[in-house]
């Protein structure tokens, strides 16, 4: 069965620092990959997604992620974080196909950005 690992549970950065959050999954084959973000007091929302094509995906608010199939990874990056990026970040990967397809989620990474 698919499993998703987010290596960093808590990350603390200063503003303008660069960010990289790791996400690895266990099951090979065709997958769809997502990063979702949950800002304090807000709903979970999509940050970016990869289905096919260019493995470097750009999302909202300057975030990007790179799909490296050989490493089963989909790491999230941002060159310069802001205080408003303080949030919980979740990686999710599909498992199965057709009607049996479902999303498997990582445990999340809590990011705190100090002003």
Partner 1 sequence: KAGVTQTPRYLIKTRGQQVTLSCSPISGHRSVSWYQQTPGQGLQFLFEYFSETQRNKGNFPGRFSGRQFSNSRSEMNVSTLELGDSALYLCASSLELVAETQYFGPGTRLLVL
* Residue that the structure tokens 């599909």 belong to: 94
| By CB under 8 A, residue 108 contacts partner 1 | yes
Contact 37, 49 (CB under 8 A): no
| By CB under 8 A, residue 104 contacts partner 1 | yes
| By CB under 8 A, residue 77 contacts partner 1 | no
Contact 57, 64 (CB under 8 A): yes
Contacts with partner 1, 16-55, as mask; x by CB under 8 A = ----------------x-x-x------xxxx--x------
Strand ranges in 1-115 using DSSP code E only, listed in sequence order? 4-5, 10-14, 19-21, 24-25, 33-38, 44-50, 56-58, 64-68, 73-78, 87-95, 102-105, 109-114
**Reduced to 3 states, what is the DSSP secondary structure of residue 36?**
strand
Query: Which of 21/104 has CB closer to partner 1?
Result: 104
Among 59, 90, 111, 113, binds partner 1 (CB under 8 A): 90
| By CB under 8 A, residue 105 contacts partner 1 | yes
CB of 52 to partner 1, least distance (A): 13
**Reduced to 3 states, what is the DSSP secondary structure of residue 30?**
coil
Q: Which residues bind partner 1 (CB under 8 A)?
A: 32, 34, 36, 43-46, 49, 90, 92, 94, 99-108
């Amino acid at each position: 069965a698919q499993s998703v690992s987010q290596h960093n549970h808590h990350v603390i950065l200063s503003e303008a620092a660069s960010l990289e959050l790791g996400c690895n999954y266990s099951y090979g084959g065709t997958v769809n990959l997502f990063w979702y973000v949950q800002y304090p007091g807000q709903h979970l929302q999509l940050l970016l997604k990869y289905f096919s094509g260019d493995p470097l995906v750009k999302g909202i608010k300057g975030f990007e992620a790179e799909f490296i199939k050989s490493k089963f990874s989909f790491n999230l990056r941002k060159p310069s974080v802001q205080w408003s990026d303080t949030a919980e970040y979740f990686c999710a990967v599909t498992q199965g196909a057709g009607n049996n397809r479902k999303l498997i989620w990582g445990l999340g990474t809590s990011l705190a950005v100090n002003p």
